[in-house]
Chains A and B, each alone.
Chain A
């Protein structure tokens, strides 16, 4: 389905950075995917897993907010005159260590991680199509550091999150000792 232009731009942003992530991760050997520069660092495999489990949560947030608004009779169509989605201001205040109990799991087969990431993105397309039919601005869920974010902002955060971890993946691959194969 055709998306409203602001949502189409958001989707392109999501897909653009995700393509870069997949380009870095696809085809890695298991040894490369499991390697980490230091004991406290994440491997490429763990980063891929982390991005996928976070994206699943954003999809569920989409379902929750739209269903609740629909049940309350508060779901409004995407405004024809809405040309720009609200932005998000990422700063150091939004940085936080995730607690270890939600860290990704080590040692998962890289082919499975990549396949899961691709499958999750296919499901996310449905969430984005839903986003394209509703006014995202009243659909708000609080972020621990950024405050109230509307549904479109949560998906922008997903793209930002991918970009952050893309840099991390590249740093891992560029670190001394990264396996050649």
Chain B
């Protein structure tokens, strides 16, 4: 039961365990959950949603009003 997460710099895919919340996946990858938006397939998912086997997650930056 695993989930693929697409990361950049460099672009790569990492596999993590499924059957838990999005925020738990992000914490495992040492990413602050509030710092990204998570897209599964064509759908934006929230940090409390569960990830399922074979999900592919892509991360997007949360826009800020400050500098990059």
Contact = CB atoms under 8 A, between A and B. Distances in A.
A54 to B, nearest CB: 5
Interface centre among B37, B59, B63, B64, by most A CB within 10 Å? B63
A166 to B, nearest CB: 12
A105 B11 contact: yes
B37 to A, nearest CB: 5
Interface residues of A, number: 39
B60 A102 contact: yes
Chain B contact residues, majority secondary structure: loop
Interface of B: 7-9, 11, 29, 31-32, 34-37, 39, 42-44, 59-68
Given A94-B66, A96-B35, A98-B68, 16 more contacts: A50-B61, A58-B63, A63-B42, A63-B43, A95-B64, A98-B36, A98-B61, A101-B31, A101-B36, A102-B61, A103-B8, A103-B9, A144-B34, A144-B62, A164-B68, A165-B68
